[in-house]
Structure 1
Amino acid sequence: MAAVTSPESSTQSRVYFQTPPGTEETEPPVRKQGRVTVKYDRKELRKRLNLEEWIIDQLTDLYDCEEEAIPELEIDVDELLDMPSDGDRASRVKELLVDCYKPTDDFVTALLDKIRGMQKLSTPQKK
């Protein structure tokens, strides 16, 4: 393929691709899915991203600070999903939030409701 620039490139440069003469495309190019979405379910990834954004929002409210100033703590959703009961999960989250001066019960309850039914994102197997 050859690159041809537009003659009216005074304000913005644009590149147009032309197929060289004598070669015809018989089939349109096939769009491949990204590696991550092939190995994981896209819907589950979206749920996980939304959950993580919600957790950050809630922690900024609980600690009454900006996102960058949240104390170093990691709420590992996969770790919580591995636990046998909601009581164990609640205890673990409360243990992580021990230095928070605001009440955390509403956050813990809402978090447990949100992770209920989620799938653990296991590391994909290499082919």
Structure 2
Amino acid sequence: MAAVTTPESSPQSRVYFQTPPGTEEAETPVRKQGRVTVKYDRKELRKRLILEEWIIDQLTDLYDCEEEAIPELEIDVDELLDMQDDVDRAARVKDLLVDCYKPTEDFVAELLDRIRGMQKLSTPQKK
């Protein structure tokens, strides 16, 4: 783009931009807007996001490292919510944290307390 000023400009100078010849902007393909057919409960999504951020913070403390260096593990909240009781949930989380050298009991107890009362997020269904 080239800057062009006009000689008869007011006390405040103005700058106009022009596209240089031969570089016509190609038309970008127009994307069709999709409709959201299923809405999640915003409050439940917010709770889930807060929980996931808390989990990441706790794991960085437990593993004494930055977020990028946390060992590859996935704590699936929906999987935990599908389990029968807190004993099974605690055992699953402890299995995931088997290579953590710090005590994990407080983390597990707090996690179970935080997921208590949460709803499982279902897969969106088309209407």
Query: In 2, Cα distance between the equivalents of 1:63 and 1:84?
Result: 28
Deviation string, structure 1 residues 41-61 (Cα, Å, up to 9, x no partner): 000000000000000000000
Deviation digits for residues 1-57 of structure 1 (CA, Å, limit 9, x no counterpart): xxxxxxx8958x9xxxxxxxxxxxxxxxxxxxx838x52000000000000000000
Equivalent in the alignment of 1:47: 47
- 1:72 paired residue number: 72
Q: Which amino acid aligns with 1:62?
A: L
Which runs of 5 or more structure 2 residues have no equivalent in the other structure? 1-11, 18-34
Q: Return the alpha-carbon distance in structure 2 between the equivalents of residues 10 and 56 of structure 1.
A: 50
- The answer to whether 1:106 aligns with 2:124 is no
- Count residues with an aligned counterpart: 98
Compared with structure 1, are the counterparts of its residues 10 and 59 closer, same or farther at alpha carbon in structure 2 (3 Å cutoff)?
farther
Q: Which runs of 5+ in 1 are unaligned?
A: 1-7, 14-33
Secondary structure (helix, strand or coil) at the match of 1:102 reads: coil
Letter in 1 for 2:114: K
Structure 2 partner of 1:35: 36
TM-score under structure 2 normalisation?
A: 0.72
Give the root-mean-square deviation of aligned CA atoms.
Answer: 2.3
Question: How far apart in 1 are the matches of 2:97 and 2:105?
Answer: 10
1:124 aligns with 2:86: no
AA paired with 1:112? L
Identity score, percent: 84
Residue identity matched to 2:94: K
Measure the CA separation in 2 of the matches of 1:92 and 1:110: 14
The structure with higher relative contact order (CA 8 Å, sep 6+) is: 2
| Residue in 2 that maps onto 1:91 | 91
TM norm structure 1: 0.72
Cα distance in structure 2, aligned partners of 1:107 and 1:9? 62
Aligned equivalents of 1:123, 1:54: Cα separation in 2: 23
